[in-house]
Every structure is written in C-alpha cells, then in structure tokens.
C-alpha cells in the first residue's frame, strides 16, 4: 500500500488559525448574501446532456468501458479548448534536489499547460509559486518560502502554516494537516490558495522512498493532481466573502477552506484530482492504465469499507464535508474509492462537469444542490447507481490487502 501518498493534502492546517470561529450569525448571514450575489464562470450548459456512450442509465452495465471513456473525454476537452498563454509561475528548486518527474522542469511546464487548457473557461489562478525540494533541502525550502512570502506581503498565518506543510511533505501524515516525525521522506505535495489574492503556492517533496519507481510521480500525475486542487479553490476568486484583513478573518476568507470543509465531501475533493490528474498527463490510454493500477487499493486503509454495494453507498452518501476531513482513514479513501467514483462521473458527463460543482459551490450552493443542477439527478439517486458501479468494479480487483 502506498500509504505515504496520503500526504497529497490540500491546505487544511491553515483553517484553524485566526479564523474567527465565534463570529456572529449576522456576519455569517452577510457572507451567505455575498456568495449568493457572486457568479463563477461555467463554460458548459447545465444540466449536462445525457447523450454520450455512458449515462447514469447504462453505466452499471457498461462499467468496463468507464476508464477509456473517461480518459477519452479528458483528452477531447484538452484538444477542443484553445491554447492560452501560460499562467505566470515562479519555480524554486533546492540546491541538492533532483526532480522526480521524468523530463524535469520542461515536462512540468507542459503538464501545467495541459491542465490549464483542460480547465479553460473556469476561473484559474493568475500566478503561482512552486517549490521543489528533497529531505536534505527541506530546511532551505522553509527559509526560501518565508523569504518569498514575506516579500509578497502574504498574511503571517499563511506563511507559518505553509511552512509547517513544507515539513509535512516529508513527514508521516495521519489526517489532513496533521504531521509527525522527522522530515526525512519527502513524498508529499501540497497546493495552497493564498488568502486575499488570486495566487497559489505548490510545494513538492522530492526523492522520497519509492518515488523513482512510482509512475504517478515520475509520469507527472502528481503535478496534474495539485494543479486541479488549485482550480477547485480558484472558483472562489473574486467572491467578496473570500477577501478580508489580517486582523479580522473568517473561515470563508480562506479559499482552500471554502473548497473543502466549506463545500466538498472528501471523496470528490481528492477523487477529482487523483483521477483526472493522471488522465491529463497520459498521451495514450495504455499510459493511463499504468497510473490506474494503483487506484483500487494503492493508497490509504482498506478497513473503512468492505467494498460491497451497501458499504460503498454509505461511504458516498453519508460522508459530510463538515466532518470527513478530521478522519484520516476516511479521507484517504478519496484517493481510491473517490477517484474511481469521479472517473465514472467523467465518463458520464466529462471532466468540466466535475469542476462546475465547485463553481456552483462558490456561488453558495451546497453539494447536493449543485450536484442536481449539474447532472440533472439527485445525489441520493446518483450515489445509489455509483455504488453499484463501484461494487462491480471492486469485484474484479479481488480482495483488498490486509
């Protein structure tokens, strides 16, 4: 099991710092009104049409066709969307660090352009900072980030919390934002939305145990993964509730909080980037199949669900965004069960429909309301169908490892 991959976490430790959790109900009502008056761009018509080869009606019978159909849908959107100027970015690499992604920085930039093209039409960050470092360079990385962020006048708590996650990329992770042990195994990665701006920060631990043999890392799937996280949070850019002062901050000031704890169940928060990220970087379906081999049981525990239809339905439907981020074992299944669930949604309606959920979330809709508006089917009904798909899928994988 690739338990170390559990540290592909999107900023969560930041959420409890200076968030003003005891704000009045009047303040909360004002935030809701701001969201309701905000419109995030969505480049597709909703609800999405059900006229492709796989629909909610036939997906159970056609479950074997899901992987290739989903991959094809992603490639088709990338090809159809116009090329755009690259998002401005600044990359810092540790003095003793060898980049894990085959092809190094040129390949990483290619992946970023493909990712940007896939999500064309949705709000994306105007610029981002990228930091890549191994265990030897981890102390350097903390200082480099602090220097960069201070010069950019980022909030003090943003600087300190991201510093913790830089070390966290090289530590053991038991839950989102919870790290322990010495920073010696740099396998984690992180995408952080910078408060009070339309900027983001990416940090990538390099050279960790097994990284050189991991196609997800070497092939660059991890880069597509973290960029997709950044786009999830970017849907809250220009939402008035996402901007505040350093002295008076609410949870909604943190776009990262808004896209996960504030809106998204854990299964799709990690499932979307962990399925679409590898599809972005796979020029052929065969390459995507190599990435996909790790999805069934490769990350996280195998004890939260028994992979039966009833158990999988419970996992999907009863999961709450307000609590799942506190449960490391449940959260980690987003990389596996969540990724396979998202893959089915991409096969049914394409990748852009998944990001439309976040755009609607930025407008103040809860997940179930947004899901019905995007897919034209209730989340209760859809999760019942998807649990049947997952149960058939997992029956082909054999029993989970113990």
Q: Is residue 29 part of a domain?
A: no
> pLDDT at residue 30 above 60?
no
Q: Which of 114, 113, 64 is nearest to 283 (CA)?
A: 114
Distance of CA 42 to the CA centre of its chain: 18
Number of domains in the chain: 1
Quick one: pLDDT at residue 73? 98
**pLDDT tens figures, 362-396:** 999 999 999 999 999 999 999 999 999 999 999 99
The tokens describing 373, both together, are 């508006």
Please give the share of the chain, as a percent, with pLDDT higher than 90: 76
Quick one: pLDDT at residue 34? 56
Long-range contacts made by residues 365-374, C-beta under 8 angstroms, separation at least 24? 366/263, 367/263, 367/264, 367/265, 367/321, 372/47, 373/46, 373/47, 374/46, 374/47, 374/48, 374/349
DSSP secondary structure of 13-29 = GGGGSS--TT--HHHHH
pLDDT band at 78 (very low <50, low <70, confident <90, very high): very high
Task: Measure the CA–CA gap between 272 and 284, rounded to whole angstroms.
Answer: 20
Q: Is residue 400 part of a domain?
A: no
Quick one: pLDDT at residue 14? 33
Task: Measure the CA–CA gap between 242 and 396, rounded to whole angstroms.
Answer: 44
Quick one: pLDDT at residue 66? 98
Task: Measure the CA–CA gap between 139 and 1, rounded to whole angstroms.
Answer: 29
Helix intervals (H) in 59-182:
66-80, 104-118, 138-151, 156-168
**pLDDT tens figures, 189-198:** 999 999 999 9
Quick one: pLDDT at residue 304? 86
pLDDT band at 36 (very low <50, low <70, confident <90, very high): low
**pLDDT tens figures, 151-187:** 999 999 999 999 999 999 999 877 777 788 899 999 9
Mean pLDDT calculated for residue range 303-316: 93
**pLDDT tens figures, 110-130:** 999 999 999 999 999 999 999
> pLDDT at residue 31 above 80?
no
90-to-135, 228, 289 alpha-carbon distances in Å: 21, 18, 32
Please give the share of the chain, as a percent, with pLDDT higher than 70: 90
> pLDDT at residue 349 above 50?
yes
Average pLDDT over the chain reads: 89
**pLDDT tens figures, 251-302:** 778 898 999 999 999 999 999 999 999 999 999 999 999 999 888 887 667 7
> pLDDT at residue 402 above 80?
no
The tokens describing 341, both together, are 């669930």
Contact (Cβ atoms closer than 8 angstroms) between residue 251 and residue 15: yes
pTM listed for this prediction: 0.90
Contact (Cβ atoms closer than 8 angstroms) between residue 208 and residue 171: no
Mean pLDDT calculated for residue range 303-330: 92
- Which DSSP state fits 299? S
Contact (Cβ atoms closer than 8 angstroms) between residue 269 and residue 322: no
- Domain holding 96, by residue range, is 3-14+56-395
Q: Is residue 311 part of a domain?
A: yes
Task: Measure the CA–CA gap between 168 and 147, rounded to whole angstroms.
Answer: 19
Q: Is residue 401 part of a domain?
A: no
Task: Measure the CA–CA gap between 119 and 279, rounded to whole angstroms.
Answer: 13
> pLDDT at residue 248 above 90?
no
Q: Is residue 41 part of a domain?
A: no
Task: Measure the CA–CA gap between 343 and 277, rounded to whole angstroms.
Answer: 11
Q: Is residue 72 part of a domain?
A: yes
Q: Is residue 51 part of a domain?
A: no
Q: Is residue 42 part of a domain?
A: no
């Amino acid at each position: 099991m690739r338990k170390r991959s559990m540290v592909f976490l999107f900023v969560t430790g930041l959420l409890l710092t200076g968030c003003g959790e005891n704000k009045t109900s009047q303040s909360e009502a004002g935030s809701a009104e701001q969201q309701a008056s905000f419109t995030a761009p969505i480049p597709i018509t909703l609800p999405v049409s059900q006229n492709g080869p796989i629909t909610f009606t036939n997906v159970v019978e056609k479950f074997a066709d899901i992987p290739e159909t989903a991959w094809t849908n992603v490639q088709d959107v990338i090809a159809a969307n116009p090329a755009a100027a690259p998002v401005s970015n600044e990359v810092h690499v540790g003095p003793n660090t060898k980049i894990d992604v085959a092809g190094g920085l040129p390949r990483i930039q290619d992946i970023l352009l493909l990712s940007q093209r896939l999500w064309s039409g949705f709000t994306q960050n105007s610029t981002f900072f990228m930091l890549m470092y191994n265990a030897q360079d981890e102390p350097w990385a903390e200082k480099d980030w602090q220097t960069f962020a201070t010069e950019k006048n980022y909030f003090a708590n943003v600087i300190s919390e991201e510093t913790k996650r830089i070390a966290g990329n090289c530590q053991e992770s038991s839950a989102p934002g919870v790290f322990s042990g010495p920073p010696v195994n740099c396998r984690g990665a992180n995408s952080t939305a910078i408060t009070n701006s339309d900027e983001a920060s990416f940090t990538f631990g390099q050279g960790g145990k097994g990284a050189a043999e991991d196609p997800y890392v070497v092939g660059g799937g991890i880069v597509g993964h973290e960029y997709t996280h950044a786009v999830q949070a970017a849907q809250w850019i220009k939402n008035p509730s996402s901007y505040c002062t350093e002295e008076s901050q609410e949870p909604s000031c943190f776009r990262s909080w808004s896209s996960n704890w504030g809106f998204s169940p854990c299964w799709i928060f990690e499932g979307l980037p962990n399925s679409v990220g590898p599809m972005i970087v796979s020029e052929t379906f065969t390459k995507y199949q190599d990435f996909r081999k790790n999805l069934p049981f490769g990350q996280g525990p195998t004890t939260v669900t028994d992979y039966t239809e009833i158990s999988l339905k419970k996992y999907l439907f009863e999961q709450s965004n307000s609590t799942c981020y506190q449960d490391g074992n449940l959260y980690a299944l987003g990389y596996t069960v969540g990724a396979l669930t998202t893959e089915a949604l991409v096969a049914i309606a394409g990748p852009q429909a998944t990001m439309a959920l976040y755009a609607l979330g930025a407008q103040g809709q809860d997940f179930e309301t947004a899901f019905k508006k995007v897919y034209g089917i209730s989340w209760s009904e859809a999760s019942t169908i998807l649990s049947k798909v997952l149960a058939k899928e997992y029956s082909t994988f054999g029993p989970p490892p113990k």
